Amino acid sequence: MTQSKLRTKQINSLTMQSSNGEGEPVKDLITKINKQLKSIIRNPTTIIIRERLGTIIGKKRLYLQKMTHKAANQTARANKNNQNSYKTPTI
């Protein structure tokens, strides 16, 4: 028997102590949690929130990228100006 099968067998044989004192199989709990997660993920509100978050994060990323480029350009321009100003005049 492979490790993963053994592990699955061990998990399935475990019981979780519930609030009323009775043991509930972990396998049942896992399936319940998975069902709840699926319903949350498929929920239209969740989808909208995820899309909006994605948009906000995308906009922030673009803004940061733009500012980084702007700063880099300013630095390059300043360096170029400094190099030009320190040149000794040729006679």
**8 A C-beta contact, residue 18 and residue 24:** yes
Low-confidence ranges of the chain (pLDDT < 70): 1, 12-24, 84-91
The pLDDT of residue 19:
59
Q: How far is CA 48 from CA 23, 29, 61, 72, 79, in A?
A: 38, 28, 20, 36, 46
| CA distance linking residue 42 with residue 1, whole number of Å | 36
- Give the model's pLDDT for residue 76: 84
Contact 11, 27 (CB under 8 A): yes
Q: What was the pLDDT predicted at 14?
A: 66
Element (H, E) at 78: helix 44-85
Give the per-residue pLDDT at 89.
61
